[in-house]
């Protein structure tokens, strides 16, 4: 770690630290925070010319305490006239964010698009943000290691920065702690940080939060991450040869969409993934046998995450290859037929109420069987509160803050709210981008530090079939009713 001073215009920035294990672009991001001069406008004089974003520090020849010269103009802030209309540029930054209708982008710190896109998708979950806001420096319980605790703090702070800033944010503290907790994300190739798998980053972050955001000391011991993202599966494992049959349950954070020649749509891929063959020892036969495992969803989450299994290990090239096949996915996903019989029964009432409510909007008469006297007690909402594994949820509160008798119930119907895409032929290369639905209902593409408005009809075109961006992870939000 070197310390230098930087002369810029009439200012002298003293004791600026340079982490020589990271590319010069990260140093430029530091200077951007200090001066407001975007990295692409910075001209930093070093031995041999101008400092390049990807230069090797060992060849730059910097010395401890060296004085550097930087040229470049900061982002201009338009001043409002003494009298007249107030322009957005003149508003406080937090108000500018509200006016823009979307949060800030994230600087790429060197092949960190996998991390940036994951953060943008998870940042779109208000209940997760709310839990992180409540998490304090002193809130660590004994089951959470110090690095996980600090990574959770860094995520909380980064989410806060994204909500308050109109300029791109450099997630240096978060990135440092992510690599400390999970060293695989710090792999280097020829001195440059390597591209990583966004799904692995997503999974590891949720695992960290599942430990740190668990309510320590509470009699209920609430698991925030499981309430928001946990999917309960009930499986039947049958051996046709011996007639043996067992059952098991498990909880996962995502469903898989398997891709084959027969799969053209997300729903088909989900069905394929819930059936699998496995070979294991058969006590009845005294040898190995083939078992068929059939799974059903037995508990639904508030946010349903689906991973398209696009990467596989290719022995010939000794790397992860990519399946480019087009697999369509909907804006509205109904998983009712993937659920267990027990869960289907619990969903029937809320689903009928949802149909009646939607029918009313279209001017149709409601089904008197389920909603004759309760018309005034039913309200369709978009997924507030937290559900439990059975598909029910917490009791709602009235505007006065007094608990009411109404409950928020899941219906098995979900709306698309985020898509994480990958462009390229290998998991270890290419580019990741997040496409996130804002609270206003508009979609934004977050390509690192560049947020771009998008049309909803273009979001479902990210389905693959070529070298363009294609969906790798989809996140759906539960459509619920209040009963």
Mean pLDDT estimate for the chain: 85
Which band of pLDDT confidence, cut at 50, 70 and 90, is reported for residue 128? very high
Q: What is the mean pLDDT of residues 82-106?
A: 60
CATH code of residue 60: 3.10.20.90
In a domain, residue 42? The reply is yes
In a domain, residue 57? The reply is yes
pLDDT digits (tens, 9 = 90+) for 141-186: 667 899 999 999 999 999 999 999 989 999 999 999 999 999 999 9
In a domain, residue 53? The reply is yes
pLDDT digits (tens, 9 = 90+) for 32-54: 888 889 989 999 988 878 898 88
Question: Which residue in 113, 201, 339, 474 is the catalytic one?
Answer: 113
pLDDT digits (tens, 9 = 90+) for 276-318: 999 989 898 989 999 999 999 999 999 999 999 998 877 777 7
In a domain, residue 94? The reply is no
Number of domains, the chain: 1
Q: What is the mean pLDDT of residues 187-204?
A: 93
Among the residue ranges 198-207, 333-342, 404-413, 427-436, the one predicted with the least confidence is: 404-413
pLDDT at position 79 over 90: no
In a domain, residue 423? The reply is no
Question: Which residue in 238, 265, 272, 431 is the catalytic one?
Answer: 431
Query: In this predicted structure, what is the pLDDT of residue 467?
Result: 81
377 close to 368: Cβ distance less than 8 angstroms: no
Determine the structural domain holding residue 53 and report its residue range. Answer: 2-71
Our answer to whether residue 201 is catalytic in this structure is: no
pLDDT digits (tens, 9 = 90+) for 422-481: 998 776 789 999 999 998 899 999 999 999 999 999 999 999 988 889 999 999 999 999
In a domain, residue 26? The reply is yes
Our answer to whether residue 431 is catalytic in this structure is: yes
pLDDT at position 375 over 50: no
Among the residue ranges 8-12, 175-179, 358-362, the one predicted with the least confidence is: 358-362
In a domain, residue 388? The reply is no
Which band of pLDDT confidence, cut at 50, 70 and 90, is reported for residue 385? very low
Query: In this predicted structure, what is the pLDDT of residue 221?
Result: 55
Which band of pLDDT confidence, cut at 50, 70 and 90, is reported for residue 398? very low
In a domain, residue 91? The reply is no
């Amino acid at each position: 770690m070197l310390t230098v001073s930087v002369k810029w215009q009439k200012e002298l920035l003293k004791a600026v630290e340079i982490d020589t294990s990271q590319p010069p672009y990260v140093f430029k991001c530091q200077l951007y925070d200090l001066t407001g001069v975007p990295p692409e406008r910075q001209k930093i004089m070093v031995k041999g010319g101008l400092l390049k974003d990807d230069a090797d520090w060992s060849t730059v020849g910097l010395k401890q305490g060296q004085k550097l010269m930087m040229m470049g103009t900061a982002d201009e802030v338009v001043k409002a006239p003494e009298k007249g209309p107030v322009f957005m540029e003149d508003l406080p930054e937090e108000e500018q964010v509200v006016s823009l209708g979307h949060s800030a982008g994230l600087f790429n710190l060197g092949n960190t698009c996998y991390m940036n896109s994951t953060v943008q998708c998870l940042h779109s979950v208000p209940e997760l943000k709310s839990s992180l806001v409540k998490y304090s420096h002193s809130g660590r319980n004994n089951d959470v290691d110090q690095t996980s605790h600090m990574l959770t703090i860094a995520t909380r702070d980064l989410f806060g920065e994204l909500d308050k800033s109109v300029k791109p944010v450099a997630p240096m503290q978060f990135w440092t702690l992510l690599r400390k907790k999970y060293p695989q994300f710090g792999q280097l190739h020829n001195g440059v940080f390597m591209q990583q798998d966004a799904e692995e980053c997503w999974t590891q972050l949720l695992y960290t939060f599942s430990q740190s955001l668990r309510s320590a000391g509470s009699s209920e011991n609430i698991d925030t991450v499981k309430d928001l993202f946990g999917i309960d599966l009930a499986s039947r494992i049958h051996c046709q040869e011996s007639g043996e049959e067992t059952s098991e349950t498990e909880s996962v954070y995502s469903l898989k969409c398997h891709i084959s020649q027969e799969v053209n749509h997300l729903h088909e891929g989900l069905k394929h993934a819930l059936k699998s063959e496995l070979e294991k020892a058969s006590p009845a036969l005294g040898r190995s046998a083939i078992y068929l495992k059939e799974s059903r969803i037995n508990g639904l989450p508030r946010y349903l995450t689906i991973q398209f299994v696009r990467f596989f290990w290719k022995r010939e090239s000794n790397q992860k290859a990519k399946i480019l096949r087009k697999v369509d996915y909907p804006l509205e996903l109904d998983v009712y037929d993937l659920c267990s019989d027990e869960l289907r029964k619990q969903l029937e009432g809320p689903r009928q109420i949802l149909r009646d409510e939607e029918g009313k909007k279209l001017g149709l008469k409601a089904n008197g069987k389920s909603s004759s006297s309760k018309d005034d007690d039913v309200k369709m909402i978009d997924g507030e509160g937290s559900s439990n594994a059975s598909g029910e949820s917490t009791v709602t509160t009235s505007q006065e803050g007094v608990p009411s008798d109404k409950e928020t119930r899941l219906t098995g119907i979900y709306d698309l709210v985020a898509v994480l895409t990958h462009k390229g032929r290998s998991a270890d290369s290419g580019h990741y981008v997040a496409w996130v639905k804002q609270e206003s209902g508009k979609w934004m593409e977050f390509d690192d530090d560049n947020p771009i408005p998008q049309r909803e009809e273009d979001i479902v075109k990210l389905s693959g079939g070529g070298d363009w961006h294609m969906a790798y992870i989809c996140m759906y939000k539960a459509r619920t009713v209040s009963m």
